[in-house]
Amino acid sequence: MRETVLAKAALGQDSLLKKAGLVLGGSLFIAMAAQVSIGYPVPMSLQTLAILIVGLSFGSTLGAATLLAYLGWGAMGLPVFANGMSAPALVGPTAGFLYGFVAMAWLAGLAVEKGLARGVVTTALCGIAISALLYIPGLAWPAAMLGKTLPDLWAGWMAPFLMGDAVKAVIAAMVVWGGWKTLRGLRG
């Protein structure tokens, strides 16, 4: 049976050591991408790009596990979140986005596993849709915890990020499908 998930196709049979290595490497990749950020309280960063790449490359279960590890590093006090934040971010204004990242990676992996992301275009479209879904927990948190209104949320927490999220979804699709092309080329 042909593999649908890039990491498994590239690395072969799953082992606990390979999975642990992917989770560690993926969570570090996301932590590094998070440090490329601007803005406050909702920073524009490369986190979502890295999360889409991880989910699309690792699959649903391993993608979600990677994000749980990433949140765990932050909960332990490591400065892995945007702008060097750690545990306080898990209850701060952007916490809904952080928790939503787990679902984002899981959904990206599920899209690949179910065959919805079969090429660059369909993968990019899935990435855009999944990125849009991230706004549900991302905006629900500040609405509930900070009493933000819909106009506040639209102006400061959503509108400035929509174009960037779409571009990051397209880049993630190109990176993952570039990985597939390279793997196929190596196998001749």
Is residue 111 assigned to a domain?
A: yes
Is residue 131 assigned to a domain?
A: yes
Is residue 188 assigned to a domain?
A: no
Sign for the pseudo-dihedral over CA of 133, 168, 28, 42: negative
Q: What is the pLDDT of residues 87-114, one digit of tens each?
A: 999 999 999 999 999 999 999 999 999 9
Is residue 129 assigned to a domain?
A: yes
Using pLDDT thresholds of 50, 70 and 90, give the confidence band for residue 123: very high
Using pLDDT thresholds of 50, 70 and 90, give the confidence band for residue 2: low
Range of the domain at 161: 6-177
Share of the chain above pLDDT 90, in %: 79
Q: What share of the chain is helix, strand, coil (3-state, %, to 5)?
A: 75, 5, 20
Structural domain total, the chain: 1
Cα atoms found within 13 Å of the Cα of residue 102, Cβ hemisphere only: 12
Is residue 182 assigned to a domain?
A: no
Is residue 185 assigned to a domain?
A: no
Tokens 């984002």 correspond to what residue?
Answer: 104
pLDDT of 81 reads 96
Task: Write the DSSP symbol of residue 134.
Answer: T
pLDDT of 41 reads 65
Q: Is the pLDDT of residue 186 over 90?
A: no
Q: Provide DSSP, 56-118.
A: HHH-HHHHHHHHHHHHHHHHTT---BGGGB-GGGGTSTTHHHHHHHHHHHHHHHHHHHTTS--
Is residue 186 assigned to a domain?
A: no
Q: What is the pLDDT of residues 36-60, one digit of tens each?
A: 988 776 778 999 999 999 999 999 9
pLDDT of 43 reads 75
Q: What is the pLDDT of residues 145-156, one digit of tens each?
A: 989 888 889 888
Tokens of 11: 């690395």
Least confident of 43-47, 69-73, 166-170: 43-47
Is residue 44 assigned to a domain?
A: yes
Question: What average pLDDT is seen over the chain?
Answer: 93
Rg (CA), the chain: 16
pLDDT of 156 reads 85
Q: Residue 93 belongs to a domain with what CATH number?
A: 1.10.1760.20
Burial of residue 163 (number of CB atoms within 10 Å: 0-12, 13-18, 19+): exposed
